[in-house]
Structure 1
């Protein structure tokens, strides 16, 4: 049983590593874009108008993708005051229930986000004149990654020998 929990934790780490690297790349692009926007507005008079729109979309994608990383580290919302005072079996049941409720939420967000992104392809962005479906695709992608992390965290919660001590107990810190 611990092998299943350790495997789920290992895959959670792997998925999280890809998401974290992606978020760092998006952050670097965001910082460079904002610097470029400041330069072309106040220092070098160039007619570059795309920097604000690009910054907006980079920030949204980065924030949405970071949700799955928060789930991997168990940094999502939990009722710690009650959770930590429960017996081990009740903590395990409650942790799995939290995982299931969050999974249902993110699955619905993924499902409806697909049609949201699809409808976005019929509208164009103001400056780029590209379909808004590309920026909107961050919603279902982030929700899908959150579902993957919640499934892995839930498998770990079910099969680990030791129930979680707290709702914020980090899973991504290493493999048991």
Structure 2
């Protein structure tokens, strides 16, 4: 199905972006530790205040985008033991209800995130790097939108294949494209 392939391509791009963000965060924090402790011990006075701010903003993006990708693979925190201990029909209903509640939550984050980003983000800049805070605030609605798309894709895969929503896992062929 075209929609599922499109969302999986978005997720592949998101995973690559998350990997790059993690690498930049690691290098940024490494540089900060190097400057703060090693260079200071060698009596070399440098200042790199942007490293902490960059790492913080990349972490914010990573949380929202990573959480959205985790939705696609059904790897968010859940009490699976409860779902599996109930009768099959009740377990399916509970897990479906939880996913629908998550969709409502993502809808609220989408609304709230755009509202906040558009009202506050254009007027503020980051204190050290001077970037518009809109670039940071947009992480919430973009993550919520990707999470919503991933939930819809999860439902499509489970219900079109007549699968059991209680047993969605990375081993399913529907998720091989993310590996």
TM-score (norm 2): 0.81
The offset of 1:27, in angstroms, is 0.2
Whether the 8 Å CA contact 1:23–1:66 is kept in 2: the answer is: yes
Structure (1/2) with the larger helix percentage? 2
SS of residue matched to 2:85: coil
Q: Give 1:136's aligned residue.
A: 137
Instruction: Measure how far apart 1:128 and its partner are.
Output: 1.7
Could you tell me which residue of structure 1 aligns to residue 33 of structure 2?
38
1:116 corresponding residue in structure 2? 116
Match of 1:84 in 2: 84
SS at 1:70's partner residue?
A: helix
Tell me, in whole angstroms, the C-alpha distance in 2 between the residues paired with 1:15 and 1:91.
30
Please provide the CA RMSD for this pair: 2.4
Equivalent residue, structure 1, for 2:174: 175
Q: Which residue of 1 aligns with 2:128?
A: 127
CA distance in 2, matches of 1:72, 1:104: 16
Distance 2:143 2:45 in 1: 37
Q: Which of structures 1 and 2 has the larger relative contact order (alpha carbons within 8 angstroms, sep 6+)? A: 1
Task: Give the count of matched residue pairs.
Answer: 169
Return closer, same or farther for 1:156/1:95 CA change in 2, 3 Å cut-off.
Answer: farther
TM-score of the aligned structures, taking structure 1 as reference length: 0.82
- Aligned-partner SS, 2:156: helix
1:143 Cα deviation from its structure 2 partner? 0.8
C-alpha change, 1:129 and 1:9, in structure 2 (3 Å) is: closer
Distance 2:145 2:95 in 1: 20
Tell me, in whole angstroms, the C-alpha distance in 1 between the residues paired with 2:12 and 2:171. Answer: 10
2:59 equivalent to 1:59: yes
